[in-house]
Amino acid sequence: MDLRIFIVKRLLLMLLTLLVLMTITFILFRIAPGDPVASMVSASLNPGARESLTRSFGLDKPMHIQYLLYLKNFLRGDMGQSFYYRLPVTQVLRPKLVNTLVLVGPATLIALIMGVLLGALTAARRAGKLDLFGTVIPLAIKAVPPFWTSMIALLIFSYRLDWFPSAGLRSPGHAADPILEKLLNADFFHHLALPLTILTLHFLAQPLLTMRNSMLDVQGEDFVEMARAKGIGERRVIYHHWIRNALLPVASIAPLMIGAIVGGQVLVETVFSWPGLGREMVSAINGYDYPVAQASFLIIGAVMIGMNLVADIAYAVLDPRVRLE
Amino acid sequence: MEVQPGHERRRSPHHTLLRGLRSLFKAISGQLNIVGTSRLGRLGLAGLVFFIALGVFAAYLAPYGPYEHVVYPDGKPATLEPPSRAHPAGTTLMSHDVLSQLIWGTRRTLVIALAASFSSIFIGTNIGLAAGYFGGRTDNILMRITDVAFGIPFLPFAMVALMTLGTEDIILIAVMTSVGWRTPARIIRSQVLTLRERPFVSVAESLGASSGRILYRHIAPNILPLAFITTILFVGESALVEASVSFLGFGNPESISWGQMLFYCFASQRMRVAWWWSVTPGLAIMLLVLSVFFVGRTYEEVVNPRLREW
């Protein structure tokens, strides 16, 4: 199959997944406690305002029309009005999305690179045996929930040693508005260090283990021996023949990693009071701010579906065999 | 565990069920024997047995009730008491004994993890079996559904679902299952794809066996080891999920679990003073999940070295 056809097929699947996600959201929020109007319109507004909002969201119409309206509004970027902030949801969530991305983006990137490198290194150094950095630490990290590691990190590095701040994105009074100024200062990095480290540790455990494992599998393969027999330098054998082939299983665990990223993000943000999408979603649900909860859920889902698509295409490029399926 | 033709007797449905159960039991104990062959595996099994015993005999082992207020001899509540002889893991802000809560919590953590794993694997295995065996359009449809399921962000989905449907344990298990089947479905399908090309399947087909019979009498027994290992690993995964969901405040407030202990600890904002309150439940989670990993590792080394996770 042509790579282009493969990509088109995956894109269609992505749209279908998005539609399913939106449908699930629609159904879940319609059966949420309270009447259907409550899912979009705050109960604390005066009756007149309530009525006009109800009408503008079509909540007085039959269910199937409501559904179509909901899809249409979402595609137009209109996700309703936050009950709590009394602002359009998009306006509330845009900065939160940025905050999440500056935390999760670097963590994912560092974790992928370090995970692959450490996996390759520990495998090349010490074939087969249990070793501290190759198995023991990554396994221990994989065996605990990210929120617990965050709590322990707070306990040690923030409360006991007082090296890092315990919450938030910047110190109070440290308000800078232009985005670059907001992100490129020492205070921000000071706040970022701990959550970033924890997230990176959690994201890198799986690629490290998979890489190490697949390095050990590949080392005995004939083509590695063949490359050696041809008299290619050991360095070239490792980089061009060994690591390259060992990378495939790492690409294939992408869905696993993406799941870990989404879950880890919500938990770590909650513990470190990081004002991102995940924490906002938790507090919106607890505060019955349905429009915000609904929109943040959909945004997280859409980002996840997008990441899956990228991973799929990357895998198809790396291993042309999948395209034949 | 194929029955010899000579031994075929009149079968009542009851009899078949009993025999099915017996062969299932035999198969599982056979799988466990495999795990016992290495030290790591025995360590993992010991860990699992320990936690199961803790959960089953919680009522006899826990010094206090999960929500019993512990008091000093003078009648004052023992609040945030550091670990001591009387309270090896200290007490909480609400003067509950941490160790007792931990023991009681084991039961709920295990019950939810086991139930969610079994139901996920059961559904996932059947979908994988059907997709792999029938192939073609069935496979295509089932696998596209699986792809779609992989697009659902689990933890946020669980939060929304529990908010609207309620936080009872049975709902939590259902929510975990409704997403959890996707992984075993993919794993089992790829195994079935290779199995169905094997001669015994074409022989059974040429003898006129129905597809149901081929699937459940010929193919299913061969994927049992894989389903078993997936279940074990899922128990660890589910324990982590349950802890995360409870930690975010979506647990059932009427019963204690490890995640819930951590939720109360974090929400009380007494983490700074009471390290024992947060450290203990996390260590329990780690030990349980590591036991699961050890069992899984040993098992895969023996049964299918190619599928090892680490």
| SS3 (DSSP) at B9 | coil
The answer to whether the beta carbons of residues B48 and B295 sit under 8 Å apart is yes
Mean pLDDT by 10 residues, chain B (310 residues): 45 67 74 75 89 86 76 71 74 76 88 92 92 88 89 89 86 92 89 84 83 84 82 88 89 83 83 81 91 84 59
pLDDT in tens, A206-262: 888 888 888 877 777 777 778 878 888 877 877 777 777 788 888 878 878 888 888
**Using a CB-CB distance cutoff of 8 angstroms, which residues of chain B are in contact with residue A96?**
none
The answer to whether the beta carbons of residues A266 and A274 sit under 8 Å apart is no
Res B142: pLDDT? 92
Residues whose CB is less than 8 angstroms from the CB of residue B38 and which lie 6 or more positions away in sequence, other chains included: B298, B301
Which one-letter amino acid corresponds to residue B277?
W
Q: How many CA atoms lie within 13 A of B254 on its CB side?
A: 4
Contact between chains at A16 and B306 (C-beta distance less than 8 A):
no
Res B4: pLDDT? 46
Contact between chains at B248 and A267 (C-beta distance less than 8 A):
yes
DSSP conformation class of A178: S
> Can you tell me the distance from the alpha carbon of A29 to that of A31, in angstroms, rounded to the nearest whole number?
5
Contact between chains at B266 and A151 (C-beta distance less than 8 A):
yes
Cβ of residue A266 closer than 8 Å to a chain B Cβ? yes
Cβ of residue A115 closer than 8 Å to a chain B Cβ? no
- Smallest CA–CA distance from A282 into chain B, residue: B248
> Can you tell me the distance from the alpha carbon of A194 to that of A199, in angstroms, rounded to the nearest whole number?
9
Cβ of residue A28 closer than 8 Å to a chain B Cβ? yes
Contact between chains at A140 and B286 (C-beta distance less than 8 A):
yes
> Can you tell me the distance from the alpha carbon of B118 to that of B115, in angstroms, rounded to the nearest whole number?
5
Confidence of residue A316 (pLDDT cuts 50, 70, 90): confident
CB < 8 Å from A in window 189-248 of B: 236, 240, 243-244, 247-248
Q: The tokens of A39 are what?
A: 């899912």
Residues whose CB is less than 8 angstroms from the CB of residue B225 and which lie 6 or more positions away in sequence, other chains included: B31, B299, B303, B304
The reported pTM is 0.84
Cβ of residue A252 closer than 8 Å to a chain B Cβ? no
Question: Taking Cα atoms as reference points, which of A238, A140, A149 lies closest to residue B291?
Answer: A140
- For residue A263, is pLDDT > 70? yes
Which of A31-40, A95-104, A141-150, B30-39 is predicted least confidently?
A31-40
Q: Compare CB distances from A263 to B165, B244, B275 and report the shortest one's residue.
A: B244
The answer to whether the beta carbons of residues B162 and B220 sit under 8 Å apart is no
Res B198: pLDDT? 84
Q: The tokens of A56 are what?
A: 């503008």
Confidence of residue A267 (pLDDT cuts 50, 70, 90): very high
Question: Taking Cα atoms as reference points, which of B128, B93, B99, B90 lies closest to residue B226?
Answer: B128
- How many CB contacts within 8 angstroms connect chain A with chain B? 145
pLDDT in tens, A154-200: 888 877 777 777 777 666 555 555 555 566 677 777 778 889 999 99
Contact between chains at A308 and B151 (C-beta distance less than 8 A):
yes
Tell me what the mean pLDDT of segment A68-88 comes to: 81
**Using a CB-CB distance cutoff of 8 angstroms, which residues of chain B are in contact with residue A266?**
155-156, 248
Which of A4-18, A272-286, B17-31, B271-285 is predicted least confidently?
B17-31
**Using a CB-CB distance cutoff of 8 angstroms, which residues of chain B are in contact with residue A31?**
164-165
Res B7: pLDDT? 46
Contact between chains at B308 and A148 (C-beta distance less than 8 A):
no
CB pairs under 8 A, 24+ apart, for B137-140?
B139/B189
Please calculate the CA angle A257-A239-A214 and round it to the nearest 5 degrees.
Answer: 40
Residue B208 or A44, more confident: B208
Res A175: pLDDT? 55
Cβ of residue A14 closer than 8 Å to a chain B Cβ? yes
Size (chain A), residues: 325
CA–CA min distance B31, chain A (Å): 23
ipTM: 0.84
Helices (H), chain A: 3-30, 47-56, 63-75, 89-125, 137-142, 146-153, 179-183, 186-219, 222-229, 234-236, 244-252, 254-271, 277-286, 290-318
